[in-house]
A and B are shown apart, each in its own frame.
Chain A
Amino acid sequence: MSLLKADQITMQFGGLTAVNNFNLELNKNEIVALIGPNGAGKTTAFNMITGVYNPTKGKIYFEGKDITGLRPDQITSLGIARTFQNIRLFKELSVLENVLIANHLNVKSNVFEAIFKLPRYMKEEKSMISKSIELLDKVGLGDLKYEKSSSLPYGKQRRLEIARALATNPKILLLDEPAAGMNPKETEDLTSFIKEIKEQFDLTIFMIEHHMQVVMGISNVIYVLDYGITIAQGSPYDIQNNQKVIEAYLGVSENDA
C-alpha cells in the first residue's frame, strides 16, 4: 500500500483551475519530485496535501486514512511535514527556539503544568531541548543555536527550515523548491544533505524543484505539471526524453519551427 495517495485532487480559485485532477502515489522511502514551469500549480498541490487548502474535488489518503480537509496542524501531527518556497522561519526567534516550537505538538502537559513547572512538564522540556540540540548538531547548525534565525545566511536558513520540519518527526517530508536561489556549490551540498536525512530519518520525500541537476540525480519518480495538468510521470530517464516535457519547458515545439 502506498504511504500517500492523492486521488484526482483539483483546486479551483474562482475561474482558475490551479491543479486539475492530480493523482499521486508515494511509496515508503522514495524520493519523488514535482516539476513544471512557474505557475503550473506545484505549490498549490503541496498546499492541498498539507491542509492549507481544502481541495475543490478529490481525496487524499495517508497510510490508507482519508485526510482530506484536515487542518495543517492535524496533518503535521499525523506525520507529514513541509518547508516553504519562500522561507518561513520564526524570524525574531533563535535557531534553537525554531526547532523547539516544532516539538510542541508532542507536549502532553497542559498549560498549567507548564506555568507551574510541574515534574511532567519539566521532564518534557528537558528532553525536548536535548533532542533539539542533538538535531541541530546532526544537521550542522549546532554552533548557531542561539543566533537569531533571520541572521543566518540564506543557505543555512533553508537548512534550518528543513531541520525544523524534521523536528516534528515526519514520515513524509515535503520540500518546496529547497534549492531556489542557491549557487551550484550550495545546490550540490543540499542534494547530498537530502539524501543523508532520508537515510538517517527513514523518510519519504516529495519535493518541488526547478534545478534539474537536483531532480535528475536523486528522484525515483518525477511528476510534471503544466497549467495544473499532469503532462508526464515516470523515471528521470523517461522524463528527460519526453517530448511534452521538453515543449512545456522550452515553450515551443521543435516541430513548430
Chain B
Amino acid sequence: MKKRNLILTIISIIVLAIFIFYADSNFDAYQVRILNLCAIYTILGLSMNLINGFTGLFSLGHAGFMAVGAYTTALLTMSLAAKEQNFFMQPLVAPLNSIVWPFLPSLLAGGLMAAFVAYLIGAPALRLKGDYLAIATLGFGEIIRVIFTNTQNITNGALGLKGIPSSTNLWWSFGIAIVTIIVLLSLINSSYGRAFKAIREDEIAAESMGINLFKHKSISFMIGAFFAGVGGGLLGSLLGTIDPLMFRFLLTFNILLIIVLGGMSSVTGTIISAFVITIAQEVLRFLDEPMNFGFAVVQITGLRMVIFSALLMVVVLFYRNGLMGSREFSWDKLIKLFKRNPLVKGGTK
C-alpha cells in the first residue's frame, strides 16, 4: 500500500515535469510568469501556514522575511556591472561589491538570513501571546522596510535594486515548491510537527506535557522564515527589480488570504488556494481598469483588493475552515473515491 502511494507520487512528479517541459517552450511569457507566481505563492503560503496554521502563532511579519531573502539573493547574484549602475548614490559595501554567487547558494543564503532575522525577533516576540505577537511581528515587517529604505550602501535605499538576473524559471520555482512541500509535510508529520500542533491546540497542556514552548515556537518560526526568504529570493529574481515598497503589509495580507481560504492546517488547501488566488488576482485585474457600462465609464482603483478582502471576511465569518480545514489529499482517499464510482473502469470489485 505504502509503496503504491510512493509510486503514484513519483509518477505525478514526472507528469508535472513533463508539463513544465511543455509549458517552458509553448506557453507565452505572460502565462509562464503566472505559473511561476503560482509556485512561488505556494512556497510562501506553506511557510506562513507552518507558523500560523500548524503552530498557531499569529504572525504577520512574512513580508519582512521575504524582503530579507529577496535582497540577500539579489545582492549575491547581481553582476558587478549591475551593482555599479544601481549604487550611484553611495557605493555598495564590501564584500558585496566584489562577489557574484550562483543562484542556488544565493537563494539558500537568502533563506538562512531570513531565518537568522526570525531568530533575532523571535527572542522577544515569541514570548508574547496571541494578539501581541501579531502586533509585534507587524511592527517588525514595517521596521525592516524602514531599515532597507535607509541603508543606502547595502540596499540602495528607496531606489531599490534593478537588473537582478532573471534566473527564476518554471524549473526553479516548481522544483523548490515541491521540495518545500516534501520538507514541510515531513516536518508536520514528525514528532516536532506534533509538538507544534499541541502548542496550537493548548499551550498550557503542551507545556505541561514537557514541550518547551519557546524552543518549539522558535523552530517553527525560523523554518517558516527560511522558506519565506527563499520565496522572496525567487520572486525578486522573477520580477528583476525590488524596492522596499514591494514588501508592504499588503504582501503579507495576500499570503494570509491564501492560507485562510485554503484552510489553516492543510498543505493541500494552501497549494490549491495559492494557484486559485494567484490566477484570480490576474484574471480580475480588469476590475482596477476603467470599465465601460455603456452609460458611463467607471474606474474604481483597488476594487480588486476590495473583492478579495470581502471574500476573506465571508470565509472568516461563515466558513471558518476554508476550503480544506485540516484535511489533506491522500492517494488512498482518491482511490476510494474512484472505487465507489461504478462508472469508472475497474471501479467495482
Confirm or deny: B249 has a beta carbon within 8 angstroms of a beta carbon on chain A.
no
Report chain B residues within 8 Å CB of A223. Answer: none
B205 touches A90 (CB 8 A): yes
A31 vs chain B, min Cβ distance (A)? 21
CB contact list, A110-164 vs B, under 8 A: 111, 114-117, 121, 124-125, 128, 164
Cα separation A178 to B326 with both chains bound (whole Å): 31
B187 touches A115 (CB 8 A): yes
A81-119 contact mask (Cβ, 8 Å, vs B): 1 or 0 = 110100011111100010011111101010100111100
A117 touches B208 (CB 8 A): no
Cα separation A81 to B204 with both chains bound (whole Å): 13
Confirm or deny: A52 has a beta carbon within 8 angstroms of a beta carbon on chain B.
yes
A88-B205 CB under 8 A given contacts A93-B198, A115-B186: yes
Cα separation A109 to B265 with both chains bound (whole Å): 25
Report chain A residues within 8 Å CB of B202. Answer: 88-91
B208 touches A104 (CB 8 A): no
Cα separation A71 to B209 with both chains bound (whole Å): 11
A73 touches B205 (CB 8 A): no
Report chain A residues within 8 Å CB of B207. Answer: 71-73
A92 touches B326 (CB 8 A): yes
A114 touches B191 (CB 8 A): yes
Q: Which of A104, A115, A116, A165 contacts B194 (CB 8 A)?
A: A104
Cα separation A84 to B192 with both chains bound (whole Å): 24
Report chain B residues within 8 Å CB of A114. Answer: 186-187, 190-192
A contact residues, total (Cβ < 8 Å): 37
Confirm or deny: A50 has a beta carbon within 8 angstroms of a beta carbon on chain B.
yes
- Closest residue of chain B to A105 (Cβ to Cβ) is B210
A73-B201 CB under 8 A given contacts A104-B191, A116-B186: no
The prevalent SS among residues of B at the interface is helix
Cα separation A246 to B192 with both chains bound (whole Å): 50
B332 vs chain A, min Cβ distance (A)? 14
Confirm or deny: B296 has a beta carbon within 8 angstroms of a beta carbon on chain A.
no
Confirm or deny: B279 has a beta carbon within 8 angstroms of a beta carbon on chain A.
no
B326 touches A104 (CB 8 A): no
CB contact list, A38-97 vs B, under 8 A: 50, 52, 71-73, 76-77, 81-82, 84, 88-93, 97
Confirm or deny: A168 has a beta carbon within 8 angstroms of a beta carbon on chain B.
yes
A72 touches B208 (CB 8 A): yes
Q: Which of B209, B223, B265 contacts A164 (CB 8 A)?
A: B209
Q: Which of B192, B208, B223 contacts A50 (CB 8 A)?
A: B208
B46 vs chain A, min Cβ distance (A)? 14
A117-B186 CB under 8 A given contacts A52-B204, A103-B191, A125-B191: yes
Confirm or deny: B303 has a beta carbon within 8 angstroms of a beta carbon on chain A.
no
B140 vs chain A, min Cβ distance (A)? 23
Binds A, one of B97-105, B143-151, B211-219: B211-219
Q: Which of A81, A92, A109, A124 contacts B201 (CB 8 A)?
A: A92
Cα separation A71 to B216 with both chains bound (whole Å): 14
Cα separation A116 to B185 with both chains bound (whole Å): 11
B205 touches A111 (CB 8 A): no
Cα separation A107 to B198 with both chains bound (whole Å): 15
Confirm or deny: B206 has a beta carbon within 8 angstroms of a beta carbon on chain A.
yes
**CB<8 Å pairs between A and B, sample of 13:** A84-B208, A89-B202, A90-B197, A91-B202, A92-B265, A92-B326, A101-B197, A103-B191, A104-B210, A104-B211, A105-B211, A121-B190, A124-B191
Additional A-B contacts beyond A73-B212, A114-B192 (12; CB < 8 A) = A52-B208, A84-B205, A88-B208, A90-B202, A92-B201, A97-B197, A101-B194, A102-B209, A105-B211, A114-B186, A114-B190, A115-B192
